[in-house]
Amino acid sequence: MQVPILKQGAYLIATVQSALTDEDLKQLRDTLVLSVSKVRARGVIVDVTALDVIDSFATRTLRDVAHMIRLRGAETVIVGIQPEVAFSMVKLGLTLEGIATSLDLEEGLAYLNRKGNGSDHGVRTHRS
Amino acid sequence: MANNQEFVTITEALLETTGSRLRELVAHLRQQRAQLREEWARKITEAKLLTAMTKEEIFAEATSVYDNYVEALETGTYEALQAYARNLSERIIPRGVETHEVVGIVLLLRDVLARSLWAKYREDFNKLNRILDAYEPAANRIAGTVAVGFVQERERIIREQQEAIRELSTPVLQVRERLLILPIIGVIDPQRTRQLTEQLLRGIRTNRAKVVVLDITGVPYIDSPVANHLVQTVEAARLLGANVIVTGLSPEIAQTLVNIGVDLGKMNTVGDLQGGIEEAERLLGYRVVLTQEQTTQHSE
């Protein structure tokens, strides 16, 4: 099962649509790392909303992807990890150390935009 | 073959006579209804059972129990009695009626009826014996049915209440856009920890939270498995893209966390809830501005 990779502005978005085999994961890694400089992307979003299980190999591959993309000059965000998946990952000691994670695609894009501008978008509350 | 047939006829005859004895018994109980019921109600009051109920209520319930009892004896089916027992339990449990009282009154009724049988058949000891043979198993079964019905109802109520307490025990509150607060009060046991994790992670998802303040001011202590679980919950929340700020750690809890060697780089802790909310607002980019000079004296 190939993972489609879409270009959206300065970002690449890879949306995982079903369970992936180890081969699929390796292919996803290679394609992403290759295309990130081909299209001169500033950020990469990997959407794993559809995954019910993220095992140690998947975690390691995602971590490798993030580090390799960093070395090639872009940021990576993993988005859409399900609550149950998140907790079982932590239980198994599979944490994505030093890699940005966001709730969903929208949040991931917002994160990359903030990173790109180098400033937080401020919200103010006033007491009347 | 012949033997078998003989056996069948004998059993049938036995059944027949048991049936006829029960019928005789039921007729007797119907006839003596008013008197026996009165006697039973008096004994209940004497034994100081059902003190939570008034005399009139006891009498009214005694009447229905008596009728249901006789009916169960007559028909040999216990469904109606079971349903009645459940209904009765539902009404009297909230008033503080105890299991021993319910068992007590059913046994009293059994004894009252048995006495009346002795009084009626004392001339004919053999007949009394046969009648009691028919009466006793049925009466014991009725007593069992009522007691079990009561206990089951009680357990159902307890389960419901436990469920309610569990739901109330971990509220997830949104204080600002993207900011949740989870105040935890009381001891955290393993089951509550699991529930806490689930509520927190679900809450992040449904409220699209970026920051969660987990306030454990009301938690006196935690053991190391629970502390580990908390740390894991904080990490899982990060995987969902949310920051967890833990506030109000007591000295004991701080000690536990240090003992299990928690990585403080992963866990954001602030002294109290106020500080936690301020930190959360800072992370979210809020700035709270006072628009009016605060006066030192409050005007009425």
Q: Does B293 touch chain A (CB under 8 A)?
A: no
**Best residue in A45, A103, A111 for a mutation probing chain B (most B CBs within 10 Å):** A103
| pTM above threshold 0.95 | no
Query: What is the tens place of the pLDDT at every residue in A48-102?
Result: 999 999 999 999 999 999 999 998 889 999 999 999 999 999 989 888 888 999 9
Chain A residues closer than 8 Å to B202 by CB: 83
Chain A residues closer than 8 Å to B196 by CB: none
Query: What is the tens place of the pLDDT at every residue in B234-269?
Result: 999 999 999 999 999 988 888 888 888 877 777 889
**Contact yes or no for A90 and B236 at CB 8 A:** yes
Q: Does B238 touch chain A (CB under 8 A)?
A: yes
Please write down the long-range contacts of B270-274, taking CB distance under 8 Å and 24 or more positions apart. Answer: B270/B245, B270/B246, B271/B247, B272/B217, B272/B247, B272/B248, B273/B181, B273/B183, B273/B213, B273/B215, B273/B217, B273/B247, B273/B248
**Contact yes or no for B284 and A123 at CB 8 A:** yes
Q: What is residue B296's DSSP assignment?
A: S
Going along chain B, which residue ranges are E strands? Answer: 173-176, 179-185, 211-218, 243-247, 268-270, 288-289
Gap between the Cα atoms of B286 and B278, Å rounded: 9
Chain A residues closer than 8 Å to B204 by CB: 83, 103
Chain A residues closer than 8 Å to B241 by CB: 79, 100-103, 107-108, 111
CA distances (Å), origin B85, targets B61, B102, B147: 11, 10, 8
Of A81, A123, A127, the CB nearest to B291: A127
CA B131: distance to chain centroid? 40
pLDDT more than 90, % of chain B: 20
Topology classification of domain A5-117: Transcription Regulator spoIIAA (3.30.750)
Query: What is the tens place of the pLDDT at every residue in B32-74?
Result: 888 888 888 888 888 888 888 888 888 888 888 888 888 888 8
Q: Does B241 touch chain A (CB under 8 A)?
A: yes
pLDDT classification of B180: cutoffs 50, 70, 90: very high
Q: Does A102 touch chain B (CB under 8 A)?
A: yes
Least trusted range by pLDDT, from A26-35, B96-105, B159-168? B159-168
- Domains for chain B: give ranges and CATH numbers: 2-166 (1.10.490.70), 173-284 (3.30.750.24)
**Best residue in B201, B232, B240 for a mutation probing chain A (most A CBs within 10 Å):** B240
**Contact yes or no for A83 and B284 at CB 8 A:** no
* Sequence-ordered list of residues with C-beta below 8 angstroms from that of B14, at least 6 positions apart, any chain: none
pLDDT, residue B79, reads 84
Chain A residues closer than 8 Å to B205 by CB: 83, 103
Of B202, B204, B235, the CB nearest to A95: B235
**Contact yes or no for A128 and B291 at CB 8 A:** yes
Distance in Å, alpha carbon of B168 to nearest chain A alpha carbon: 21
pLDDT classification of B13: cutoffs 50, 70, 90: low
Chain A residues closer than 8 Å to B239 by CB: 78, 81, 86, 89-90, 95-96, 101
Residue in B163, B164, B221, B171 with CA at minimum distance from that of residue B196:
B171
